[in-house]
Each structure stands twice: as C-alpha cells, then as structure tokens.
C-alpha cells in the first residue's frame, strides 16, 4: 500500500510514519510533503498513491486547495485540529476525519475503513460520520495547568492572552505573567483550544482574540500588535492573512 503524507509539522509526520508502519507491515510511504506548493509539484510528477493522509491546515494554505483543483481520485484521510473543516472535507474523497492529537486506535479504524472502500466514500459512511459530528460537539479546554515552584496552578482560558514557544511553551496572561505550561507541542495546544477564540499566528504563538490590539500590513504579510501590558509584535506570513481576517471579523 503506497501512502502519501502531507503534514507540515515534522514531529507529527514522524509519528504518523511510525504508527502506519506499526499498523501495516506492507505500507510504503512514497513521500512526506509539508506544503500546498510541494503537494502540487509532487502530483504533477508522480502517479497517485493508494491512500493520502493529509493535514488540512498547512503553512502556505489548506490542503483542500490541492484536492479541489487537481483530479485526485484516491481516498484521503484528513487530519486536523479543527472540527470546522469537516463538511468541506467530506465533499472530497475523504474516508475519515481524525482530530489531533491523533490516536493510534482511531488511525487503525480509519485504515480498516479504507480497506473496505475501493474508491471514494459510500453515502452511508458519510452520513454516519456527519451524525457523529453533529451529536458529539467538540469540547475545548477551559483551563490549563502552569508549573510554579513544583506546584501545578490552574489558569482559566479567559485569563490567557497568548501561548508562546521558546525552548519550552509558556502561558502569557492578560496581566503580564509568563508561566510555564505543562504541554510540549504547539500542535497539541492548538487541538485543545477553541479556534473561534485562539489563532495560530505563527509557529511560536497562539493568540487569544481579545488580546489583539491592531494589525499592520507588511510586504511579507501582517504584524499583529497585542494589547498592553504587551509591546511585542508578532509576524504573520502572507498565506495566513485571509484566514486571520475571517477569524478576527
């Protein structure tokens, strides 16, 4: 089984590779791509694989842009942190929809479903997936733990201005405190946060909508200025501008 992985987070791509090879001895990862541009170039020069595992939100856009413009006929398993993409995903050749962080048992179930479906998605399977999403609304974390002097202190989401990643991940509060988070990756954090409230401005920052003061345009994209007590300016690439404006509006 030839599998193509489209994922812009190296650690997530590595985990997918490991889980796939553990679950399927005959799997062959034909390529691991990190952007819409790379995917377009790859499909122009290579035959379609048997199966695609694709993150939806990539650094330079969304993977839907690849599948909607090219004639991709092989099945796709989408992975993402956001429920809001579900309906659009199902209009393509999706056989399943996995929320991050990806659970190996969920991936195994998706692979089992793939084996039962030769091409495309049966209407019954689609209805079952939509029913699952409609009857089990996504719940987001309401508080996060901060490590302070060997103690764990709960921080309500309403008090968080933004998360930042340096060597470790920090919680930055509306009052200017910088507290150590007990999470290890920004992808994990992003999957736990309400996308209507938090936006991944860049790889290092997840920002609460109430902490945004103003936005400046630049040749490279946008500069997001935060409300006091913060004076930092966060750079955003041009590829994220449209999604950010929709989120902010």
Q: Are residues 225 and 158 in the same domain?
A: yes
Question: What's residue 132's pLDDT?
Answer: 52
**Shortest CA distance to 205 belongs to which of 233, 177, 182, 179?**
233
Q: What is the pLDDT of residue 128?
A: 53
23 and 119 together in one domain: yes
How many independent structural domains does the chain possess? Answer: 2
Report the candidate in 197, 196, 238 with the shortest Cα–Cα distance to residue 220.
Answer: 238
Contacts of 3 (CB under 8 A, 6+ apart): 20, 27, 28, 29, 30, 49, 50, 51, 52, 53
CB 239 within 8 Å of CB 220: no
Nearest to 231 by CA among 211, 208, 202, 205: 211
Q: What's 186's domain CATH number?
A: 2.40.50.1020
Q: For the CA atoms of 176, 181, 184, 189, what is the dihedral angle to 10 degrees? A: -70
Residues 231 and 113 reside in one and the same domain? no
- Does one domain contain both 213 and 237? yes
pLDDT > 80? residue 89: no
Q: Could you read off the pLDDT of 197-223 as tens digits, one per residue?
A: 999 999 899 999 999 999 998 888 889
The verdict on 40 and 108 lying in the same domain is yes
**pLDDT tens figures, 101-111:** 788 998 998 88
Domain boundary among 116, 135, 154: 135
pLDDT the model gives residue 246: 86
Q: Which domain holds residue 227?
A: 143-248
pLDDT above 50 for 123: no
């Amino acid at each position: 089984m030839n599998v193509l992985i489209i994922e812009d987070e190296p650690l997530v791509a590595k985990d997918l590779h490991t889980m796939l090879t553990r679950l399927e001895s005959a799997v062959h990862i034909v390529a691991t791509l990190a952007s819409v541009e790379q995917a377009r170039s790859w499909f122009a020069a290579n035959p379609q694989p048997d199966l695609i595992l694709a993150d939806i939100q990539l650094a330079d856009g969304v993977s839907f842009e690849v599948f909607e413009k090219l004639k991709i006929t092989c099945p796709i398993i989408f992975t993402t942190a956001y429920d809001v993409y579900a309906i659009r995903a199902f209009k393509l050749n999706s056989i399943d929809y996995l929320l991050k962080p990806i659970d190996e048992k969920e991936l195994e179930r998706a692979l089992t479903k793939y084996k039962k479906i030769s091409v495309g998605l049966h209407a019954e399977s689609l209805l079952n997936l939509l029913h699952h999403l409609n009857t089990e609304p996504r719940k987001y974390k309401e508080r996060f733990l901060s490590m302070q002097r060997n103690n764990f202190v709960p921080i309500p989401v309403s008090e968080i201005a933004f998360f930042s990643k340096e060597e470790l991940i920090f919680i930055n509060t509306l009052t200017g405190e910088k507290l150590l988070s007990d999470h290890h990756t920004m992808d994990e954090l992003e999957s736990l946060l309400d996308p209507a409230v938090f936006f991944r401005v860049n790889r290092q920052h997840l920002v609460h909508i109430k902490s945004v003061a103003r936005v400046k345009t630049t040749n490279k994209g946008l500069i997001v200025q935060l409300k006091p007590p913060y004076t930092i300016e966060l750079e955003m690439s041009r590829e994220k501008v449209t999604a950010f404006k929709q989120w902010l509006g």
